[in-house]
Chains A and B, each alone.
Chain A
Amino acid sequence: MTIFLPVAGISINVFLLIGVGAMVGFLSGVFGVGGGFLLTPLLIMLGIEPMVAAASDANQIVAASTSGAFAHYKEGNVDVKMGLFMLVGGVVGGGIGTFLIKILKQTGNVDVVIRICYVVLLALVGAIMLIESLTRPVSDETASKGDSWLDRVMIRLPFSTRFETSGVTTSAMSPILLGIMVGILAAIMGVGGGFLLIPTMTYLLRMPMRVVVGTSLFQMLFTAGATTVMQASVNHNVDIFLAISLLIGSSIGAQIGVRVGRHLSGRQLKIFLAILVLGLCVKMFLDLLMRPAHILAQMGGH
């Protein structure tokens, strides 16, 4: 069954979109990682413009993180104060990212920049996952806490604030800066930033793991929401049909993934996911190097 995506301007098989969403949702359910970093490149491969793919993925993340954040909130696992500080940064970062996209769109290289960002991101995420899963037990997620130079810098930052739910005292600037970074990534790449938020909140902000996931989802919901509004207003890139189709798939896939994940070896699965991510990275990298089929390309926009 084909549906017409009015903003992307193409007709596409809806089951293909739901299938892609389900695949990414399945991986999210199995591994407990976000799927944004996989979803956008897969959409690009389906022929959707990188800008529309990234912006619509951000819209899809709003729905996915609403569901997750609400579930965690009911269990008291959301540090609202920390989330709000990150949110301030996230909105600023989302604004910066949206205007970066606008400038890149005018130079005509937005697609190339998004692709390059993805190659770097996928290489980093894939390599870290592979190394971690090969060298460290999967359950040992808090092992790297230590008194590093970064810890000392964090302690010296001004505006020290107590975050009761997390049980930590840190500078208010830390979550704001983290939010800015995630906001920029959300706007340019359409990712939720869980891969950046979770380790940073765990290792730098020293938040307990049960609060980390809920708070990251809480801030992601608002960052992705603000990014969606800005992308729609400035770049006219958000396709609701596309976002909803992906969401249907990812919700179903995640439910199946959670059930399947309980019966599988986490370490081997993580190695498999790392290989998948690195494979995608190599494919996108080769696409950048190989001569395109045409030396002319449509300009961004609709």
Chain B
Amino acid sequence: MVLAAAVCTFFLTVAVVHAVSEGKSDREGLRVAPDVIHMGTFYGGMDVTITGTAARGDQVVVVIRGADVEEVLNRKARVGPIWVNQGKVHISGVPSLFLSFSSQPIDKILGREVIDAHQLDESAIRKQMHVSPEAYDQPVIRENFLKMKTNQNIYEVQAGRLEMGTPGPAGTPFTVAFRWSKKAPPGLYTVSAYECRDGAVAGELKATLKVDEVGFPAWMAHMAKDRAALYGAFAVIVALLAGLGIDFVASRLGKGGAVAH
């Protein structure tokens, strides 16, 4: 009887802890708005807001990552007076997109080992990146890769951009608002919020952000890639009709055919 009571108590305790834990999860849920971005005809990037709640006193780092990719890039070198592409560089173990926003400079709230383990800044990516052939000047290639991605607005690290709100009973709300780069390719991105306490990661919240090509541009891109000859013929027919339309309008204006060629 005592044993049965003990077993019941154990399972009740587990259930209560689980319920509390579920409540805590709701409290700290990470919200991405919008969580789906459509790349339509008039797409030019998108304003994105990420919100959540962290435990009182914690600092937060929010990271948005694309899947790891292998990129093959041209390496430029000087031949005579001209800069030409000379050789290819294979870079792997890097995310297709990397955005990191924190409430304070990351190295002030987390130790270097923790930053590297969770891949929270460019320095961590630089270390993890694999470059081949190895004979190339590794530090220069790594640095240039990060610079290139930063210039394309698909790698970005911003300390202090994430705003911590007024602590309440449920914890401290946090918000980061940013412009989603129009150069970011379609795909599924992982959004992670790291709660930082005493130089370590105390908790992690996850969400996703999906970027989709939709509508006419999606159809066109699909045609151009998968039905290339048909797409080419379509392009010519559209141009022919446009040309005849211009001739019609121009002849109505009394100046037939005066267009650029």
Which residues of chain A have a CB within 8 Å of any CB of chain B?
1-7, 9-11, 21, 24-25, 27-29, 34-36, 59-72, 74, 107-109, 111-112, 116, 192, 194, 217, 220-221, 225, 228-234, 236, 238-241, 243-244, 247, 250-251, 253-255, 257-259, 288-299, 302
Contact = CB atoms under 8 A, between A and B. Distances in A.
B251 to A, nearest CB: 7
18 contacts: A3-B42, A6-B218, A28-B259, A61-B261, A63-B239, A63-B240, A67-B257, A68-B261, A107-B85, A108-B74, A112-B83, A112-B85, A231-B232, A238-B235, A240-B220, A243-B239, A251-B250, A298-B73
Contacts of B213: 6
A35 B260 contact: yes
Contacts of B249: 251
B219 to A, nearest CB: 8
B14 to A, nearest CB: 52
B244 A66 contact: yes
A69 B259 CA distance: 10
A2 B42 contact: yes
A296 B255 contact: no
Contacts of B166: none
Contacts of A233: 228-229, 232
Interface of B: 39-45, 72-78, 81-85, 88-89, 140-141, 144-145, 147-148, 151, 182-183, 185, 213, 217-218, 220-221, 224-225, 228-229, 231-236, 238-240, 242-244, 246-247, 249-251, 253, 255-261
A292 B218 CA distance: 33
Contacts of B259: 25, 28-29, 64, 67-68, 250-251, 254-255
Of all A-B residue pairs in the complex, the 5 with the closest CB atoms, nearest first, are: A71-B257, A66-B243, A232-B232, A2-B44, A28-B260
A34 B85 contact: no
Given A236-B224, A255-B255, A294-B151, A299 B74 contact: yes
A192 B261 contact: yes
Contacts of A229: 229, 232-233, 235-236
Given A6-B224, A112-B85, A228-B232, A296 B74 contact: yes
A145 to B, nearest CB: 25
A298 B76 CA distance: 11
Contacts of B43: 2-4, 11
A112 B82 contact: yes
B258 A255 contact: yes
A220 B261 contact: yes
Contacts of B217: 4-6, 241
Contact of A230 (B45, B72, B232, B255): B232
A229 B221 CA distance: 15
Nearest to A249: B260
Contact of B235 (A59, A255, A292, A297): A59
Q: Which residue among A21, A259, A294 has the maximum number of chain B CB atoms within 10 Å of its CB? A: A294
Nearest to B225: A236
A134 to B, nearest CB: 25
Given A1-B42, A251-B260, 15 more contacts: A6-B213, A11-B44, A62-B235, A63-B242, A64-B260, A66-B239, A67-B257, A71-B256, A112-B85, A247-B246, A255-B259, A259-B255, A289-B82, A296-B148, A297-B85
Contact of A253 (B42, B73, B225, B260): B260
